[in-house]
Each structure stands twice: as structure tokens, then as C-alpha cells.
Amino acid sequence: MGDMMRIRTFLAATSICLLAAGPVSALVVVNADFNSTTTSPPYANPPSGTYSGTAAAPDPGTIWNGLGIGAQGTLNATYTSGTLSASDGSSTPVTVTLNDYATYDVQGANGAGAGVAQALLNDFAYDFNNLTAPASTFSISGIPTAVTYTYDLYIYSGGGSFGNSTSFTIGATTLTLSGGPFATFDDATSDGVGNYIKFSSPPVTLGTISGSWTGSNSRFSGFQLAFDVPEPTSLAALAFVSTVFIGRRRGR
Ligand SMILES: [Ca+2]
Ligand SMILES: [Ca+2]
Ligand SMILES: [Ca+2]
């Protein structure tokens, strides 16, 4: 087989692979860990701090935005973050707002139980007055929108040495999870048991995902917003691969 034939065969095979893989896209993940602003003392133990590493979502990075959302046990009318970084450290226009909630850190106040990602799960926003007032609400804004983007929102709830129950509602969808300590990330989307739920393609209105949460010992520990962005440089990548291949052939 001549060189040109080999190159044509290679390019044809590469094209078939790209077609089989579907549209090439880049995954961008924004990670948020809700933290208490209370320090030790008055906490009996060091606070949970900010989580680092991967969690349940496929994630090209490990960086989490540690957000101090308020002091232990104090009702907050509203909190809005600054713009959040993506997990690879790049900047994004995404922000998060919480309304009508209070903050708790199980690690700082009670000492942590064993389990996965305690720095993420142990500190959270909770529905302070869930028996007498509407549910707490949240909104994630500044989301870059295009019809070709797809979004997944992972919500974390759990930690500590005892269980809890929290229901999250976005649009017409309500998902409930048990929380509590788990040795691994446990998906509760289908069975209600676990430390995270996944809203697949939640409605985004004018760049904002809005929702609410409530429950008995409710916990909103943090979230991951993962979105696929089409990558227009895929053709350039193919040209680069071809150039390397041809260069290697000629170098022999
Ligand atoms: Ca934390
Ligand atoms: Ca489960
Ligand atoms: Ca947290």
C-alpha cells in the first residue's frame, strides 16, 4: 500500500470514527460547595472547609468554589455569590442565589461522621422554617445559553452521622433524597436513597435555572452544573492529527 493510499485509508477511518462519536463537544463543569462562615470557636471543631476533587459528575477538573453563605443557625433572606470558576480554574459568568434559608456545619458543630466527601456534604443551606413558611429557593444564573448546549445539574445533600430527607423541585420535577453518610457517591435520582440527585436537562429560562427545596433536616450541600459546549475546533484537531501522521510517514 502506497503512502497516499495509507493516508486516504487513515482519513476515511478517522471520519467514520468522528461520525460514530457524534458531535464533538467540550464538557464545562462549575462546582459549588456551600460553607458556613462560622469559625472555631465558637464551633467545637474545625469547620468543614472547601471540598477539592471529583464527585459524581464527569469532570475535567477538580476545583470547587467554596461559598461562605452565612453563620451557623441564622436565617438569611438572600445570598448571591460572585461569578464562579469552572473546575479547570477558568472564569465563567455563572452565579448562584439562595433565599430564605439558614446555614449548618455538622463537622464544626457536632464532629464529622465517616463517609465520602465530608468537606462537601457536611456544610449546607437548610430550610430554616419549613413548617411555617414556603420552601427555600435557589437560582443559578448567567448560564451561557445556546440551543445546542445540554445541561445536567447534580445536587448534593448529606454528610454527618445521621440521616435527613430533602426534596428539590425544578419546574415540574421533584426529586427526593435520604442524605446521611455514605462510603461513596450514591445516586438517589431513581431510588431516593443516596447523597446526590441529577436533574437532566433542567429548564433554563433566560440563562437561569430556578428551584426550591424543603424537608425534615433538609440539606443543600452544594452542586455541580455540567454543560456540553460544541467544539468548533474539532476540524482543526483532525487537521493536526493528519499533519502528525503525514510527518511521521515522511520522516522514515
Ligand atoms: Ca464545605
Ligand atoms: Ca441510590
Ligand atoms: Ca457544602
4 within some domain: no
Going from the Cα of 166 to the center of ligand 2, the distance in angstroms, rounded, reads 14
Going from the Cα of 180 to the center of ligand 2, the distance in angstroms, rounded, reads 12
In the predicted model, what is the mean pLDDT of the chain?
Answer: 84
In order of 36, 44, 72, 150, the CA distances from 40 in angstroms are 11, 6, 11, 41
The ligand whose atoms approach the alpha carbon of 179 most closely is 2
Q: Give the pLDDT band of residue 236 (cuts 50, 70, 90).
A: very low
53 within some domain: yes
8 within some domain: no
Going from the Cα of 192 to the center of ligand 3, the distance in angstroms, rounded, reads 20
Q: Give the pLDDT band of residue 232 (cuts 50, 70, 90).
A: low
pLDDT of residue 67: 98
Going from the Cα of 179 to the center of ligand 2, the distance in angstroms, rounded, reads 10
pLDDT at 108 > cutoff 70: yes
pLDDT at 36 > cutoff 70: yes
Going from the Cα of 207 to the center of ligand 3, the distance in angstroms, rounded, reads 24
Going from the Cα of 34 to the center of ligand 1, the distance in angstroms, rounded, reads 6
List the shell of residues around ion ligand 3, using CB closer than 5 Å: 33-34, 123, 221-222
Average pLDDT over residues 107-115: 87
- Per the structure, the count of domains in the chain is 1
Average pLDDT over residues 108-120: 89
63 within some domain: yes
Q: Say if residues 187 and 198 touch (Cβ distance below 8 Å).
A: yes
pLDDT of residue 179: 82
Q: Give the pLDDT band of residue 154 (cuts 50, 70, 90).
A: very high
3 within some domain: no
- In the block, cell 430564605 appears at 100
Going from the Cα of 187 to the center of ligand 2, the distance in angstroms, rounded, reads 4
pLDDT of residue 131: 60
Percentage of the chain beyond pLDDT 90 is 65
pLDDT of residue 16: 43
pTM given for the model: 0.82
pLDDT of residue 135: 87
Going from the Cα of 69 to the center of ligand 3, the distance in angstroms, rounded, reads 10
Residue 210's Cβ-count burial label (10 Å; 0-12, 13-18, 19+) is middle
Q: Give the pLDDT band of residue 2 (cuts 50, 70, 90).
A: low
The ligand whose atoms approach the alpha carbon of 48 most closely is 1
Q: Say if residues 51 and 33 touch (Cβ distance below 8 Å).
A: yes
pLDDT of residue 23: 54
pLDDT of residue 159: 77
pLDDT of residue 181: 84
H helical segments located in 63-134: 106-110, 118-121
244 within some domain: no
pLDDT at 231 > cutoff 80: no
H helical segments located in the chain: 3-21, 106-110, 118-121, 234-250
233 within some domain: yes
Going from the Cα of 167 to the center of ligand 2, the distance in angstroms, rounded, reads 15
> Please, what is the end-to-end C-alpha distance for the chain in angstroms?
15
In order of 27, 62, 132, 158, 210, the CA distances from 165 in angstroms are 31, 28, 17, 9, 20
Q: Which residue has the higher pLDDT, 237 or 165?
A: 165
Domain that holds residue 35: 24-239
7 within some domain: no
